[in-house]
Amino acid sequence: MYREYNTLIFYNTNMNRRIRSRRGFTLLEIMLVVVIIGVMASIAIPTFKKLRETSQNKRFMNDLRLVSNAFQIYALENGEHPADVSRGQTPAGMANYLPKGFNFSDKCAIDGTWDWENGAFGVTAGLSVKTPNRDDAQMKEIDADIDDGNLSTGQFIKTESDRYTWVIEE
């Protein structure tokens, strides 16, 4: 019995040595994990970017509709649209009509600057965004969602090289 006990101890000691000598990861295992994470990131990052862009576009379109409705209500109640102002400025008398939290001096969801148009760019009344961080192809996607998909016709048009206008009244 004593002998069996010694053998068992000897066996356990040997096994402990084997386990202790293999405590870390090999360079190959670490490189494999890094490659797998890289492949997963290369798949996920473009998807997240597209989702973020889509979300920003939807927010922009929603703001565009809400603010243009506010200008239409103002015109109905006052008999005319507010006077034209510089970009980033809220037209006089519009503060009570705009959605809560909306501010003309803030960047819009697509990083452009809001601008109210009255008698400018060939429209009687319109809401513009100047210098958004979207190219024409991306702006056409927005136009397709809210208008006719053509930036030269319809209610959402390109009025300058870096200005897009939602026409409230022609």
Span 77-131, pLDDT tens digits: 999 999 999 999 999 999 999 999 999 999 999 999 999 999 999 899 999 999 9
pLDDT digits (tens, 9 = 90+) for 14-58: 555 555 556 788 999 999 999 999 999 999 999 999 999 999 999
What is the distance, to the nearest Å, from the Cα of residue 144 to the centroid of all Cα atoms in its chain?
18
Distance in Å from the first CA to the final CA of the chain: 104
Nearest to 85 by CA among 144, 57, 126, 122: 126
pLDDT of residue 20: 56
CA neighbor of 139 nearest in space, from 120, 111, 105, 115: 111
Q: Which of 57, 89, 91 is nearest to 71 (CA)?
A: 91
For residue 27, the Cα-to-chain-centroid distance in whole angstroms is 39
Q: Structure pTM?
A: 0.76
Secondary structure (DSSP) of 74-129: HHHHHSSPPPP--TT-PPTT-TTTSPTT--TTSB-TTS-EEEEEEEETTEEEEEEE
107-120 as b/e: b if 16+ CB within 10 A = ebbbebbbbbbbeb
Q: Is 146 exposed, middle or buried (0-12, 13-18, 19+ CB in 10 A)?
A: middle
